[in-house]
Structure 1
Amino acid sequence: VTLTGLGLKIANGLVMLGRGNLMLTLFFTMIASILLGMGLPTTAKYIILSIMAAPALVDLGVQPLAAHLFILYFGVIADLTPPVAVAAYAGAGISGGNSMKTGFIAVRLAVAGFMIPFLFALDPGLLFINSTIGHTLLLIVTALAGVLALGAAAGGYLLDHTKIHERVILMISALALLTPGLLTDSVGIVLLAGVIILQKMRISKKVKFA
């Protein structure tokens, strides 16, 4: 992928596809960074994408610091994504597990981490850029709650093993919390709190009948 230049060509094409639409550009920049992660070290990935993708993100209104941090973040997290999940494969080598399976499990467990760059790209207040302390604290709290909900939905465990309907609710909660806005944050908190209450009630019943 790297030696033939295919990764760079695909990455460039993906970034060009998203031009004019912020969410698409962010998404394709993420994919491009992961593709380049199949053979390039983090620094090289960052240099290439900072030239290729960062200007497009800045033109669409993303703060320069947030744009470059977005690229760097996915340059690092690319080490988790198969088929060339360097970090996951190293862990599999130590544990003696299946390397590919370990890579996919790593992605599932880290899925919440994939959302963080989108948060600070859409609202740089999370990086203390053009924001008040109160607004930044609110963003941090809702981001943590969203990551918790998404991690529980992907991992299948919160206070107890999650049922199918609880996973769906947690996923909706995560999407709401990770979408900037007071209304969406409120909906997300209510849904997350509802699942926590349900699981606490279920745990109490288990203890009572144990």
Structure 2
Amino acid sequence: GVISLTGLGVRFTSIISLMAGDSRILFLVFTMIASIILGMGMPTSAVYIVLASILAPGLIELGFEPLAAHMFIFFGAVMSNITPPLAIASFAAAAVANADPWKTSLSALKGASGVFLLPFIFCYSPALLGLGSAIEIAEASLSALLGMLCLSIAAIGWFFINLSGAIRLVLAACAIALILPGMESNLAGLVIAGSILLFLFIRNRRQEDLESEKSAQ
């Protein structure tokens, strides 16, 4: 109602364009913020309909694929369900589990931190949406999956053991390298993150073996 009565819808694209300037990433960030805020008080379908008519043309004019532009808006509206302060899905899950709503909401936000980056990924790498050859789609999907996994581990701070701040920062950097398009950055992120996670896994197995030997004695 506010958007229609005040004429904000007509001016929305120009306002965001003015704030973002020529920066494509800023336009995406502001679009995501608008999608999340509107999604907190409106159904997902309604948010998509409103913003698809207002902001999708601006994204397409900046050079993004039409499918990526529309899916970006839709993802933002969906992610509002776990974004505080009105994380409807998290609060509903907390009620079912008899848990604290705010702690549940923050845990969901940490666990889904990689999902918030997914819309940005497929805007710059449309192969994730099936736009490209089979090799491009497979490469983009695998690197994005590994990057989101590393980012979620870094955000939660646990992988068999509680992780230190330094390891979490390195894993977050590896996640960004995996998410960014480019074979060199993907390989660097894969090697570093794989080495860290493999070391943590082997260390945990050795500790379990030692504990089992002690208990047997």
TM-score of the two chains, using structure 2 as the length reference = 0.87
Residue 108 of structure 2 aligns with an amino acid whose one-letter code is A
- In structure 2, the partner of 1:113 is 115
Q: Distance in 2 between matches of 1:86 and 1:157?
A: 26
- In structure 2, the partner of 1:151 is 152
The DSSP-based 3-state class of the residue aligned with 1:115 is helix
| Gapped regions of structure 1 (runs ≥ 5) | none
- In structure 1, the partner of 2:199 is 198
- In structure 2, the partner of 1:27 is 29
Contact 1:153/1:167 (<8 A) preserved? yes
- In structure 2, the partner of 1:36 is 38
Contact 1:15/1:28 (<8 A) preserved? no
- Deviation of 1:204 (Å): 3.5
Q: Look at both structures and tell me which one has the larger radius of gyration over its CA atoms.
A: 2
Count of matched residue positions in the alignment of Structure 1 and Structure 2: 206
Contact 1:146/1:175 (<8 A) preserved? yes
- In structure 2, the partner of 1:67 is 69
Q: How does 1:48-67 map to 2 (within 5 A)?
A: 48-67=50-69
Task: Indicate which of 83, 88, 93 corresponds to 2:85.
Answer: 83
Q: Distance in 2 between matches of 1:200 and 1:110?
A: 23
The worse-fitting range, judged by mean Cα deviation, of 9-18 and 105-114 is 9-18
- Deviation of 1:65 (Å): 0.7
The worse-fitting range, judged by mean Cα deviation, of 15-24 and 30-39 is 15-24
Residue 89 to residue 15, structure 1, CA distance change in 2 (3 Å) = farther
The DSSP-based 3-state class of the residue aligned with 2:64 is coil
- In structure 2, the partner of 1:209 is 210
Residue 174 of structure 1 aligns with an amino acid whose one-letter code is A
Q: After superposition, what is the alpha-carbon deviation per residue over 1:73-109, rounded to whole angstroms, capped at 9, x for unaligned? A: 1111111101111101111111222222222221111
Q: Distance in 2 between matches of 1:182 and 1:200?
A: 26
- Deviation of 1:38 (Å): 2.1
Q: Distance in 2 between matches of 1:171 and 1:179?
A: 12
Q: Which structure is higher in helix share? A: 2
Residue 72 to residue 168, structure 1, CA distance change in 2 (3 Å) = same
Residue 104 to residue 200, structure 1, CA distance change in 2 (3 Å) = closer
Asked whether 1:186 is paired with 2:177, we answer: no
Residue 126 to residue 47, structure 1, CA distance change in 2 (3 Å) = same
Q: Distance in 2 between matches of 1:29 and 1:15?
A: 10
- In structure 1, the partner of 2:214 is none
Q: Distance in 2 between matches of 1:44 and 1:208?
A: 55
- Deviation of 1:15 (Å): 5.8
Q: Distance in 2 between matches of 1:164 and 1:196?
A: 15
Residue 57 of structure 1 aligns with an amino acid whose one-letter code is L
Percent of residue pairs bearing the same amino acid type:
33
Residue 202 to residue 163, structure 1, CA distance change in 2 (3 Å) = farther
Residue 192 of structure 1 aligns with an amino acid whose one-letter code is A
